[in-house]
Amino acid sequence: MKDNLIIGRYIPGNSFIHRLDPRFKLVAMILFMVLIFMASGWLDYVILTAVILGLIFLSNISLGVYVRGLKPMLIIIVFTVVLQLFFTYQGDVIWSFGPLKLTTDGLLNAVMIFMRFVLVIFISTIVTLTTQPITLTDALENLFSPLRKILPVHEVALMLSIALRFVPTLMEETDKIMDTQRARGVDFSEGNLIDRIKAIIPILIPLFISAFNRAYDLAIAMEARGYRGSEGRTKYRQLKWQRRDTLASIVLIGLMILIIWI
Amino acid sequence: MQITFEDVSFTYSANTPFASEALKQVSLTIPDKSYTAIIGNTGSGKSTLTKLFNGLLLPTDGQIIVGDTVVTPETSKKQVKNVRKKMGMVFQFPEAQLFEESVIKDVMFGPKNFGDDEETARRKAEMALERVGISDALYDQSPFDLSGGQMRRVAIAGVLAMEPEVLILDEPTAGLDPKGQDELMTIFNDLYATGQMTVILVTHQMNDVASWSNHVIVMDHGTCVFEGQPTEVFSDQEWLEHHHLALPDILAFREKLFANGLSLPKDALPLTVDQLADQIAAQLMSDTQGEAVQDER
């Protein structure tokens, strides 16, 4: 199952997008999302689509991978688009059946909603596919560092990076525990809702226990290596703002002005 | 219960870009009531093989004949559950599977899943716990209060309580101290010798292969490259090295004796310390007799 999941995956590469500063990528992603929701006319969407397709091309990862990333969201997209199609009552009526009305406005809204979904998912997928999760947490720590006085920024970033590091490990562990319990006769895909929830207990408890043990071992190992908290630490992975980041920022600002102006 | 693989292939994430072939057209037979050892380098497909034995994975091609059931890529889940009941599987670090509030309940979990009532399950659990040497004083304790070695025994009892016909062990002694390793291996051997169980042992320990098993399967790169007697597999050192395997300590020691000029019978491979000691003693005896004959002249 997890092999087909694109969300949150990182595909190693050395494209222009891969080499951009993760801080820029994070901020740009948020700005892009705002832009996508601000866009109202046809022209806006054409420009945004062209830009995002350009970014996908620059990322050196085939469009198919991005399209596959849409799959888990398909139901939500279809549901919303269908609602928009048949329950918009403004505009000229093209076709109607009882309370269902297909109008020109509805058609237009449906297409726009669809584009919004696709573009938002694409832009976030571009960021996650081209950025190592660990550098993303570095970027978050860096971006939030002005708030150090009121927030434990370092601690939150540390928890984030440890959590990210252990996601695959815990997934593997879950698979293993499921196999062992299946060998003892548990059936995860049978019975009614209550039976199925009960079948989760033999997975959940060992998983929690092993997570506790792992946390304990990790804490001991960190202390043994001299970890004392955020005060006075240096960094191994340094984030460097380079000329291409400045260039990309200028392009982004230009694009924003263009969209708002149109 | 005999297990036969006929041209079995298995591919993980078949039909996706991440597909990887783990087993390629494997054909092998595990005889009824045998003590089979499966050896091979890391990543040779041993674990995939063990998961195919008890239906945790279904073959992508070929068929597996377990007793009188035939498992094919189309086999339904219900049939697989029947196979699973007969196959006890002890995974690596099995103590990770414990979850109940007391030792006895955890061991009863397996039998109850396969349809036993409370009383029968408890009887089976008590028998299994006795077999692995857990005293009844521990029955009502939480499994998480036990020591590592005891937890492993309880986990193994949980598998034995299902009274399987075949016991599959995936590195059962990993991470135990030498005494614990020896005790566990003796328990398994007793099960094989008295309980008439077919035992399948996946291991990296050539010493265990030499001292316990009577049938060996060697895996390499997803194919079965050898099937036969332990004495056969250990007779060709070059072949072993080619497949990244080593000699058991006894045979390595015997090679050193050869290198230093001691002549031992070449064809009779000793697999235990006793056998080797007997061979050396016999050799020394005949040497001294030879000398005595010379002295008389």
Which of B99, B109, B152, B154 should be substituted to probe chain A, the one whose Cβ sees the most A Cβ atoms within 10 Å?
B99
Percent of chain A at pLDDT exceeding 70: 95
Do B190 and B252 sit in the same domain of this protein? no
d(CA B94, CA B170): 9
- Checking if the pLDDT of B294 tops 90, the result is no
d(CA B153, CA B160): 10
Answer with the residue of higher pLDDT: B127 or A65. B127
Lowest mean pLDDT among A101-105, A219-223, B153-157, B256-260: A101-105
Averaged pLDDT, A213-238:
89
* The predicted structure's pLDDT at residue A1: 40
Do B110 and B61 sit in the same domain of this protein? no
* The predicted structure's pLDDT at residue B99: 92
Residues from chain A that touch B88, judged by Cβ atoms under 8 A, are: 183
Do B130 and B197 sit in the same domain of this protein? no
DSSP B262-287: ----SSS---SHHHHHHHHHHHHHHH
Which of B87, B109, B113, B154 should be substituted to probe chain A, the one whose Cβ sees the most A Cβ atoms within 10 Å?
B113
DSSP state of B244: T
Three-state DSSP class for residue B29:
strand
* The predicted structure's pLDDT at residue A242: 85
Interchain pair A177, B97: CB under 8 A: yes
Residue type, A15: S
Interchain pair A180, B89: CB under 8 A: yes
CB B150 within 8 A of CB B143: no
Do B4 and B134 sit in the same domain of this protein? no
pLDDT in tens, A167-182: 888 988 999 999 999 9
Helical H segments across chain B, by residue range: 46-53, 77-86, 103-113, 118-131, 148-160, 178-193, 206-212, 230-233, 237-242, 249-259, 273-296
* The predicted structure's pLDDT at residue A4: 52
Averaged pLDDT, B275-294:
80
Do B199 and B265 sit in the same domain of this protein? no
CB A88 within 8 A of CB A108: no
Nearest CA in chain A to B86: A183
pLDDT band at A214 (very low <50, low <70, confident <90, very high): very high
Residues from chain B that touch A210, judged by Cβ atoms under 8 A, are: 96
DSSP A187-250: -TT-S-HHHHHHHHHHHHHHHHHHHHHHHHHHHHHHHHTT---STT---SS-----HHHHHHHH
Percent of chain A at pLDDT exceeding 90: 24
CATH of the domain at B175: 3.40.50.300
Answer with the residue of higher pLDDT: B112 or A39. B112
Answer with the residue of higher pLDDT: B267 or B205. B205
d(CA B59, CA B73): 5
Interchain pair A184, B109: CB under 8 A: yes
Interchain pair A187, B89: CB under 8 A: no
* The predicted structure's pLDDT at residue A6: 59
At CB < 8 Å, which residues of chain B contact A? 13, 16, 18, 51, 54, 56, 77, 81, 84-85, 87-89, 91, 94, 96-99, 109-110, 113-114, 144, 158-159, 162
**What mean pLDDT, rounded, does chain B reach?**
89
Q: How close B51 comes to chain A (CA, Å)?
A: 9
CB B219 within 8 A of CB B40: yes
Do B147 and B189 sit in the same domain of this protein? no
Residue whose token pair is 């030792």: B103
Q: Which residues contact A109 (CB under 8 A, 6 or more apart)?
A: A84, A88
Do B137 and B6 sit in the same domain of this protein? no
pLDDT in tens, B41-83: 988 989 899 999 888 899 999 999 988 888 888 888 778 888 8
Among the three residues B163, B179, B196, which one is the final residue of a domain in this structure? B163
Do B129 and B146 sit in the same domain of this protein? yes
Tokens found for residue A7:
């969300």
Nearest CA in chain A to B157: A184
Residues from chain A that touch B171, judged by Cβ atoms under 8 A, are: none
Do B289 and B213 sit in the same domain of this protein? no
Do B77 and B6 sit in the same domain of this protein? yes
Interchain pair B114, A185: CB under 8 A: yes
- Checking if the pLDDT of A69 tops 60, the result is yes
Inter-chain Cβ pairs, chain A and chain B, closer than 8 A:
59
Among the three residues B246, B263, B280, which one is the final residue of a domain in this structure? B246
Three-state DSSP class for residue A162:
helix
pLDDT in tens, B175-214: 888 998 999 999 999 999 987 799 999 999 899 999 899 9
Work out how many domains chain B is built from and give that number. Answer: 3
Give the DSSP H/E element, type plus range, for residue A42.
helix A42-58
Its domain, for residue B184, covers 1-92+171-246
Q: Does A178 touch chain B (CB under 8 A)?
A: no
Residue from B211, B156, B166 nearest B33 by CA: B166
User: Could you give the angle at the alpha carbon of B178 between the alpha carbons of B177 and B181, nearest 5°?
Assistant: 85
Which of A3, A182, A184 should be substituted to probe chain B, the one whose Cβ sees the most B Cβ atoms within 10 Å?
A184
Tokens found for residue B39:
């050896």
Interchain pair A202, B159: CB under 8 A: no
Lowest mean pLDDT among A191-205, B216-230, B282-296: B282-296
Q: Does A190 touch chain B (CB under 8 A)?
A: yes
Nearest CA in chain B to A175: B56
Query: So where are chain A's domains?
Result: 1-146+237-262, 153-229
Residue whose token pair is 């010798």: B193
Residues from chain B that touch A209, judged by Cβ atoms under 8 A, are: 99, 144
Q: Which residues contact A254 (CB under 8 A, 6 or more apart)?
A: none
pLDDT in tens, B84-100: 888 999 999 999 899 99
Residues from chain B that touch A4, judged by Cβ atoms under 8 A, are: 16
| C-alpha pair distances (Å), B257 with each of B211, B246, B248, B264, B273 | 20, 17, 14, 9, 14
* The predicted structure's pLDDT at residue A196: 85
CB half-sphere exposure, A5, CA atoms < 13 A: 7
Q: How close B94 comes to chain A (CA, Å)?
A: 8
Interchain pair A3, B18: CB under 8 A: yes
Do B103 and B211 sit in the same domain of this protein? no
- Checking if the pLDDT of A2 tops 70, the result is no
Residue type, B287: D
Do B42 and B8 sit in the same domain of this protein? yes
State ipTM.
0.84
